[in-house]
A and B are shown apart, each in its own frame.
Chain A
Amino acid sequence: MFYREAGDFSTTYSQDSQTFPIKFDRYRYYVVLAVAFLVVPFFINDYWANAVFVPFLIYAIAAIGLNILTGYCGQVSLGTGGFMAVGAYACYKLMTGFPDVSIVIHVLLSGGITAAVVTLFGLPSLRIKGFYLAVATLAAQFFLVWLFNKVSWFYNYSASGQISAPERSVFGVIVTGPNTEAWAKYLICLVFVTFCAIVARNLTRGSVGRKWMAIRDMDIAAEIIGVNPMAAKLTAFMVSGFFVGIAGALFFAVYLGAAEANDSFGIDKSFLVLFMVIIGGLGSIFGSFAGAAFMVLLPVLLKNVLVGGLGWPTDLAAHLQFIISGSLIIIFLIMEPHGLAQLWRLAKEKLRLWPFPH
Chain B
Amino acid sequence: MNDMSGGNYVTSDGRQIGDTLMEMKNITLRFGGVVAIKDISFDIHEGEIRAIIGPNGAGKSSMLNVISGFYHPQEGEVWFRGSKRPAMKPYQVAEQGIARTFQNIALFNGMSVLDNVMTGRLTHMKTGLFAQSFWKGKAEREEVENREVVEKIIDFLEIQAIRKTPVGRLPYGLKKRVELARALAAEPKLLLLDEPMAGMNVEEKEDMSRFILDVNDEFGTTIALIEHDMGVVMDLSDRVVVMDYGRKIGDGTPDEVRNNQEVIDAYLGVSHD
B148 CB contacts on chain A under 8 angstroms: 13
Quote the shortest CB–CB distance from A197 to chain B (angstroms): 12
B93 CB contacts on chain A under 8 angstroms: 224
**CA gap between A224 and B102 in the complex, in Å:** 10
Find the residue from A12, A13, A205 having the highest chain B CB count within 10 A: A13
Chain A, residue nearest B126 (CB): A207
B143 CB contacts on chain A under 8 angstroms: 13-14, 17, 206-207
Return the CB mask of A189-222 against B: 1 if under 8 Å, else 0: 0000000000100110111101101101110111
B144 CB contacts on chain A under 8 angstroms: 12-14, 17
Which residues of chain A (209-262) have a CB below 8 Å from chain B?
210-211, 213-214, 216-218, 220-229, 235, 239
Name the contact of B108 in the complex, choosing from A16, A202, A206, A217 (C-beta under 8 A).
A217
**CA gap between A156 and B247 in the complex, in Å:** 71
Name the contact of B102 in the complex, choosing from A203, A207, A221 (C-beta under 8 A).
A221
The interface size of chain B toward A, counting residues with CB under 8 Å, comes to 42
B118 CB contacts on chain A under 8 angstroms: 207, 210
27 A-B interface contacts by CB (under 8 A) = A13-B144, A202-B132, A206-B132, A206-B143, A207-B142, A207-B143, A208-B132, A211-B122, A213-B108, A214-B122, A217-B111, A218-B107, A220-B70, A220-B106, A221-B102, A221-B107, A221-B108, A224-B90, A225-B94, A225-B123, A226-B91, A226-B95, A226-B122, A227-B91, A229-B91, A235-B129, A283-B110
Which residues of chain B (146-165) have a CB below 8 Å from chain A?
147-148, 151
The interface size of chain A toward B, counting residues with CB under 8 Å, comes to 32
Quote the shortest CB–CB distance from B264 to chain A (angstroms): 35
A210 touching B115, Cβ below 8 Å = yes
How many pairs, one residue from A and one from B, have CB atoms within 8 Å of each other in the complex? Answer: 110
Q: Knowing that A16-B147, A202-B133 are A-B contacts, what are 20 other residue pairs whose CB atoms are under 8 Å apart, sorted by A's residue number?
A: A13-B151, A17-B147, A202-B139, A203-B133, A205-B135, A206-B132, A206-B135, A207-B122, A211-B122, A214-B111, A216-B108, A217-B107, A217-B109, A218-B109, A220-B106, A223-B90, A223-B91, A224-B90, A224-B91, A225-B119
B68 touching A224, Cβ below 8 Å = yes
A13 CB contacts on chain B under 8 angstroms: 143-144, 147-148, 151
Name the contact of B94 in the complex, choosing from A202, A206, A226 (C-beta under 8 A).
A226
Quote the shortest CB–CB distance from B192 to chain A (angstroms): 9
Chain B, residue nearest A228 (CB): B91
Q: CB of B127 within 8 A of chain A?
A: yes
Quote the shortest CB–CB distance from B145 to chain A (angstroms): 9
A225 touching B147, Cβ below 8 Å = no
Q: CB of B140 within 8 A of chain A?
A: yes
A199 touching B111, Cβ below 8 Å = no
A227 CB contacts on chain B under 8 angstroms: 91, 119, 122
